[in-house]
Amino acid sequence: MAYFPLFIDLKDKNILVIGGGKVAERKVKVLLQFEAEISVIAKSVKSEEIKNLADTGIIKLYERPFSLADINFKDLVIVAVDDLELQKKVYKECVKRKIPVNSVDSIDYCSFIFPSIIKEDEIIIGISTSGKAPALSRKLRELIKDCLPKNIKSILKEVISLRESLPKGRERQKILVNFLKKRFGDWG
Protein backbone atom coordinates (compact mmCIF):
# COMPACT_ATOMS: atom_id res chain seq x y z
CA MET A 1 0.00 0.00 0.00
CA ALA A 2 1.31 3.45 -0.91
CA TYR A 3 1.19 6.20 1.70
CA PHE A 4 -0.34 9.61 0.97
CA PRO A 5 2.22 12.44 1.36
CA LEU A 6 1.04 15.09 3.79
CA PHE A 7 2.99 18.19 4.78
CA ILE A 8 2.18 19.46 8.26
CA ASP A 9 3.30 22.43 10.33
CA LEU A 10 5.56 21.21 13.15
CA LYS A 11 6.45 24.65 14.50
CA ASP A 12 6.18 24.53 18.30
CA LYS A 13 4.71 21.01 18.19
CA ASN A 14 5.68 18.77 21.10
CA ILE A 15 7.62 15.84 19.65
CA LEU A 16 9.06 12.87 21.52
CA VAL A 17 11.98 10.86 20.17
CA ILE A 18 12.64 7.61 22.00
CA GLY A 19 16.26 6.49 21.58
CA GLY A 20 19.69 8.04 21.85
CA GLY A 21 21.70 6.59 18.98
CA LYS A 22 22.60 7.64 15.45
CA VAL A 23 19.11 6.99 14.03
CA ALA A 24 17.51 9.13 16.75
CA GLU A 25 20.13 11.81 16.04
CA ARG A 26 19.21 11.86 12.34
CA LYS A 27 15.51 12.19 13.13
CA VAL A 28 16.14 14.98 15.64
CA LYS A 29 18.28 16.92 13.18
CA VAL A 30 15.58 16.76 10.50
CA LEU A 31 12.80 17.72 12.92
CA LEU A 32 14.78 20.72 14.23
CA GLN A 33 14.69 22.21 10.73
CA PHE A 34 10.93 22.57 11.19
CA GLU A 35 11.07 24.42 14.55
CA ALA A 36 9.58 21.60 16.62
CA GLU A 37 9.92 21.32 20.39
CA ILE A 38 11.80 18.06 20.84
CA SER A 39 12.26 15.82 23.86
CA VAL A 40 14.51 12.77 23.72
CA ILE A 41 14.20 9.86 26.13
CA ALA A 42 16.84 7.14 26.18
CA LYS A 43 18.29 4.73 28.72
CA SER A 44 21.72 5.69 27.45
CA VAL A 45 22.66 8.33 24.91
CA LYS A 46 25.35 7.26 22.46
CA SER A 47 24.99 10.29 20.19
CA GLU A 48 27.30 13.16 21.12
CA GLU A 49 25.18 15.43 18.90
CA ILE A 50 22.06 14.72 20.97
CA LYS A 51 24.03 15.45 24.15
CA ASN A 52 25.32 18.72 22.66
CA LEU A 53 21.84 19.78 21.55
CA ALA A 54 20.57 19.11 25.07
CA ASP A 55 23.51 20.91 26.72
CA THR A 56 22.78 24.02 24.65
CA GLY A 57 19.05 23.87 25.45
CA ILE A 58 17.95 23.18 21.88
CA ILE A 59 16.25 19.93 22.90
CA LYS A 60 15.25 18.35 26.20
CA LEU A 61 17.02 15.12 27.12
CA TYR A 62 15.94 12.56 29.70
CA GLU A 63 18.42 9.72 30.27
CA ARG A 64 16.14 7.07 31.69
CA PRO A 65 13.86 4.26 30.55
CA PHE A 66 10.70 5.19 28.64
CA SER A 67 7.37 5.31 30.48
CA LEU A 68 3.90 5.47 28.89
CA ALA A 69 3.36 8.76 30.74
CA ASP A 70 6.07 10.25 28.50
CA ILE A 71 3.55 10.29 25.66
CA ASN A 72 1.26 12.68 27.55
CA PHE A 73 0.76 15.97 25.69
CA LYS A 74 2.86 14.89 22.70
CA ASP A 75 1.84 15.76 19.16
CA LEU A 76 4.09 13.22 17.45
CA VAL A 77 6.27 10.29 18.56
CA ILE A 78 9.33 8.75 16.90
CA VAL A 79 10.60 5.41 18.22
CA ALA A 80 14.26 5.02 17.23
CA VAL A 81 15.23 1.89 19.16
CA ASP A 82 15.88 -1.74 18.15
CA ASP A 83 13.53 -3.07 20.84
CA LEU A 84 10.51 -4.47 18.93
CA GLU A 85 8.47 -4.95 22.11
CA LEU A 86 8.95 -1.30 23.03
CA GLN A 87 8.04 -0.24 19.49
CA LYS A 88 4.85 -2.28 19.68
CA LYS A 89 3.95 -0.94 23.14
CA VAL A 90 4.49 2.70 22.10
CA TYR A 91 2.64 2.18 18.81
CA LYS A 92 -0.43 0.69 20.51
CA GLU A 93 -0.58 3.49 23.07
CA CYS A 94 -0.13 6.21 20.45
CA VAL A 95 -2.84 4.72 18.23
CA LYS A 96 -5.18 4.57 21.22
CA ARG A 97 -4.48 8.26 21.95
CA LYS A 98 -4.56 9.25 18.25
CA ILE A 99 -0.94 10.45 18.31
CA PRO A 100 0.98 9.95 15.05
CA VAL A 101 3.83 7.49 15.63
CA ASN A 102 6.77 6.26 13.59
CA SER A 103 8.91 3.30 14.61
CA VAL A 104 12.02 3.40 12.45
CA ASP A 105 12.52 0.26 10.37
CA SER A 106 9.26 -1.31 11.65
CA ILE A 107 6.46 -0.41 9.25
CA ASP A 108 4.02 -2.51 11.29
CA TYR A 109 4.39 -0.05 14.17
CA CYS A 110 3.97 3.17 12.20
CA SER A 111 0.93 5.33 11.65
CA PHE A 112 3.01 7.54 9.34
CA ILE A 113 6.18 7.29 7.30
CA PHE A 114 9.14 9.56 8.01
CA PRO A 115 10.27 10.42 4.47
CA SER A 116 13.71 11.16 3.19
CA ILE A 117 13.73 14.96 3.01
CA ILE A 118 15.33 17.68 0.94
CA LYS A 119 14.87 21.13 2.50
CA GLU A 120 16.04 24.26 0.75
CA ASP A 121 14.46 27.19 2.58
CA GLU A 122 10.70 26.84 1.94
CA ILE A 123 11.17 24.15 -0.71
CA ILE A 124 10.51 20.77 0.85
CA ILE A 125 10.73 17.52 -1.09
CA GLY A 126 9.70 14.33 0.68
CA ILE A 127 10.64 10.97 -0.80
CA SER A 128 9.21 7.67 0.32
CA THR A 129 9.01 4.07 -0.81
CA SER A 130 6.13 3.59 1.67
CA GLY A 131 8.58 2.09 4.14
CA LYS A 132 9.54 -0.75 1.81
CA ALA A 133 13.03 0.41 0.72
CA PRO A 134 14.42 3.30 2.80
CA ALA A 135 17.87 2.98 1.19
CA LEU A 136 16.29 3.73 -2.19
CA SER A 137 14.57 6.81 -0.73
CA ARG A 138 17.95 8.07 0.52
CA LYS A 139 19.57 7.45 -2.87
CA LEU A 140 16.73 9.24 -4.68
CA ARG A 141 17.15 12.18 -2.27
CA GLU A 142 20.82 12.45 -3.25
CA LEU A 143 20.02 12.27 -6.97
CA ILE A 144 17.22 14.84 -6.79
CA LYS A 145 19.23 17.21 -4.61
CA ASP A 146 22.06 17.11 -7.18
CA CYS A 147 19.57 18.09 -9.90
CA LEU A 148 18.34 21.23 -8.13
CA PRO A 149 19.78 24.50 -9.42
CA LYS A 150 22.48 25.89 -7.12
CA ASN A 151 20.53 29.17 -6.93
CA ILE A 152 17.16 27.55 -6.09
CA LYS A 153 16.75 29.70 -2.97
CA SER A 154 17.06 32.94 -4.95
CA ILE A 155 14.68 31.60 -7.61
CA LEU A 156 12.19 30.81 -4.86
CA LYS A 157 12.47 34.34 -3.46
CA GLU A 158 11.89 35.80 -6.92
CA VAL A 159 8.81 33.63 -7.49
CA ILE A 160 7.38 34.49 -4.06
CA SER A 161 7.94 38.20 -4.63
CA LEU A 162 6.40 38.08 -8.09
CA ARG A 163 3.44 36.02 -6.87
CA GLU A 164 2.75 38.43 -4.01
CA SER A 165 2.78 41.40 -6.41
CA LEU A 166 0.09 39.91 -8.67
CA PRO A 167 -3.66 39.58 -8.13
CA LYS A 168 -4.97 36.05 -7.62
CA GLY A 169 -6.35 34.16 -10.57
CA ARG A 170 -5.47 32.49 -13.85
CA GLU A 171 -3.53 35.47 -15.16
CA ARG A 172 -1.18 35.26 -12.17
CA GLN A 173 -0.65 31.56 -12.85
CA LYS A 174 0.20 32.25 -16.51
CA ILE A 175 2.71 34.93 -15.54
CA LEU A 176 4.38 32.64 -13.01
CA VAL A 177 4.57 29.73 -15.46
CA ASN A 178 6.11 32.02 -18.11
CA PHE A 179 8.60 33.36 -15.57
CA LEU A 180 9.67 29.82 -14.66
CA LYS A 181 9.86 28.79 -18.33
CA LYS A 182 12.36 31.61 -18.85
CA ARG A 183 14.39 30.34 -15.86
CA PHE A 184 14.21 26.61 -16.64
CA GLY A 185 13.08 26.27 -20.25
CA ASP A 186 9.84 24.63 -21.35
CA TRP A 187 8.99 22.14 -18.62
CA GLY A 188 5.53 21.11 -19.69
Count the residues in the chain. Answer: 188
Instruction: State which H helix or E strand residue 62 sits in.
Output: strand 60-63
Per-residue pLDDT of the chain (188 residues; tens, 9 = 90+): 788 999 999 999 999 999 999 999 999 999 999 999 999 999 999 999 999 999 999 999 999 999 999 999 999 999 999 999 999 999 999 999 999 999 998 999 999 999 999 999 999 999 999 988 989 999 999 999 999 999 999 999 999 999 999 999 999 999 999 999 988 876 54
Contact 70, 90 (CB under 8 A): no
For the beta carbon of residue 125, count every other beta carbon within 10 angstroms.
16
Q: How confident is the model over 90-133, as pLDDT tens digits? A: 999 999 999 999 999 899 999 999 999 999 999 999 999 998 89
What is the Rg, in whole angstroms, of the alpha carbon atoms belonging to the chain? 20
pLDDT of residue 187: 53
pLDDT of residue 188: 46
Annotate 114-178 with DSSP letters as a single string. --EEEEETTEEEEE--TTS-HHHHHHHHHHHHHHS-TTHHHHHHHHHHHHHHS-SSHHHHHHHHH
SS3 20: coil
